[in-house]
């Protein structure tokens, strides 16, 4: 049984992580950290967690913590990961991994030098809907992928995570916060690497960071893909891949709360239709990391994957500024 400490026990921990841990078979939460000591104690009481700390450093030093889940704001990830590595604690860090590729590189190098397991919490890779896309594409069901698209929009102005619009704490607006889900999922299901990007973004008076954005990706195999994200729209996601022999598509494919209908179509004919739930994605993610901790085997999403996503994000933001195609 792997004992986790959650650094940055906020909305994400309450809404997503703790329900995931509640169903996990090989791990549990024994500690948390929040900057406010009273709120830390209150959260610990509410969820029956033994230890409440006010810093990631204290949490990482606890002998009752075997592994650390970093859920603090993006700007704190580097220091928190380094703290976990210093205490030789395996560490799973939320996406986006860092503020920039240089920070992500430091995390990877630090973990490798210390011989510590470092993973990135790209939870969409553990969703049943995403797995279905992977299987069908790998099996050649739709032939060579020609086009793909992913979209993720949400009303983030009303989010309790108020820091996500602050450029001192967040890697970016929706291009980073939810966009990284989109292009990481595209990389995963296509089993392909981004070669270049062209991006645009819009801004408004509410945030310094972007309010909406779109990106065109060229993959190494020649597949063209688009990503559209916004922090100013009702919640919705979309995933679609168009191949030479068929189309895979699903509305709200990346959500973890509501049923998803997956369609395989050829022309106007539906060849396969399946309904799935992604409600075990967070549980599957932490179980997989705990298994890697216990077995000494690699985690499915190592730090190097997070580093590559940071390079892609960096290219996206450079393209927004330059108006030109950029390479990761």
Query: Would you call 258 helix, strand, or coil by DSSP?
Result: coil
pLDDT value at position 30? 98
Structure confidence by residue, pLDDT tens digits, 139-153:
999 999 999 999 999
Look at the block and give the residue holding tokens 């549980």.
Answer: 283
Instruction: Give the whole-angstrom CA distance, residue 243 versus residue 148.
Output: 9
Mean pLDDT of the chain: 97
Model pTM score: 0.96
Contact assessment for residue 287 and residue 25, using Cβ atoms and an 8 Å cutoff: yes
Mean pLDDT of 222-251: 98
Reported as a single tens digit per residue, the pLDDT across 195-231 is 999 999 999 999 999 999 999 999 999 999 999 999 9
> What are the backbone angles phi and psi of residue 12, rounded to the nearest 5°?
-65, -40
Rounded mean pLDDT, 74-88: 98
Q: What are phi and psi of 169, to 5 degrees?
A: -115, -25
What are the domain boundaries of the chain? 2-121+282-301, 127-278
Cα separation, 159 vs 181, in Å, equals 18
Half-sphere exposure for 68 (CA within 13 Å, toward CB):
33
- Strand partners of residue 219: 194
% the chain with pLDDT above 70? 100
pLDDT band at 160 (very low <50, low <70, confident <90, very high): confident
Percentage of residues in the chain having pLDDT higher than 90: 98
Over residues 46-59, the pLDDT tens digits come to: 999 999 999 999 99
Q: Give the three-class secondary structure for 247.
A: strand
- Confidence band, pLDDT 50/70/90 cuts, at residue 36: very high
User: Residue 161: which of 210, 208, 231 has the closest Cα?
Assistant: 231
Domain 2-121+282-301 superfamily per CATH: NAD(P)-binding Rossmann-like Domain (3.40.50.720)
Enter the DSSP assignment of 8. S
Which residues make Cβ contacts (< 8 Å) with residue 129, sequence separation at least 6?
239, 250, 253, 254, 260, 262, 276, 278
Report the DSSP pairing between strands 246-251 and 236-243.
antiparallel
Residue 323: CB atoms within 10 Å: 10
User: What per-residue confidence (pLDDT) applies to 190?
Assistant: 98
**H or E element that contains 3:** strand 2-7
Rounded distance between C-alpha atoms, residue 229 and residue 154, angstroms: 8
Q: What CATH superfamily is the domain 127-278?
A: Dihydrodipicolinate Reductase; domain 2 (3.30.360.10)
CB 307 within 8 A of CB 97: yes
How far apart CA 214 and CA 179 sit, in angstroms, is 9
């Amino acid at each position: 049984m792997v004992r986790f400490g959650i650094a940055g026990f906020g909305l994400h921990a309450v809404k997503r992580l703790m329900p995931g841990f509640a169903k996990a078979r090989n791990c549990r939460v024994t500690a948390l950290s929040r900057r406010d000591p009273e709120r830390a104690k209150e959260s610990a009481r509410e969820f029956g967690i033994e230890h409440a700390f006010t810093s990631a450093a204290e949490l990482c030093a606890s002998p009752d913590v075997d592994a650390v889940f970093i859920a603090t704001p993006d700007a704190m990830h580097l220091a928190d990961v380094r703290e976990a590595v210093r205490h030789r604690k395996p560490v799973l860090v939320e996406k986006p991994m860092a503020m920039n590729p240089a920070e992500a590189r430091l995390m990877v190098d630090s973990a490798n030098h210390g011989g510590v397991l470092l993973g990135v919490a790209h939870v969409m890779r553990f969703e049943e809907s995403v797995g279905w896309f992977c299987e069908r594409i790998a099996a050649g069901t739709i032939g060579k992928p020609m086009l793909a698209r992913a979209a993720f929009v949400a009303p983030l102005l009303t989010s309790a995570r108020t820091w996500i619009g602050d450029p001192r704490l967040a890697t970016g607006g929706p291009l980073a916060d939810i966009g990284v889900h989109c292009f990481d999922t595209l990389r995963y299901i296509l089993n392909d690497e981004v070669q270049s990007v062209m991006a645009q973004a819009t801004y408004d008076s509410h945030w310094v960071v972007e309010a909406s954005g779109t990106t065109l990706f060229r993959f190494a195999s020649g597949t063209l893909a688009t990503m559209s994200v916004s922090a100013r729209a009702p919640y919705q996601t979309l995933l679609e891949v168009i191949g030479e022999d068929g189309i895979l598509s699903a509305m709200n494919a990346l959500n973890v709360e509501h049923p998803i209908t997956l369609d395989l179509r050829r022309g106007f004919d539906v060849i396969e239709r399946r309904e799935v739930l992604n409600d075990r994605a967070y549980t599957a993610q932490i179980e997989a990391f705990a298994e890697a901790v216990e077995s000494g085997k690699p985690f499915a999403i190592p730090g190097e994957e997070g580093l590559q996503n940071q390079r892609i994000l960096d290219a996206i933001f450079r393209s927004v500024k330059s108006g030109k195609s950029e390479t990761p």
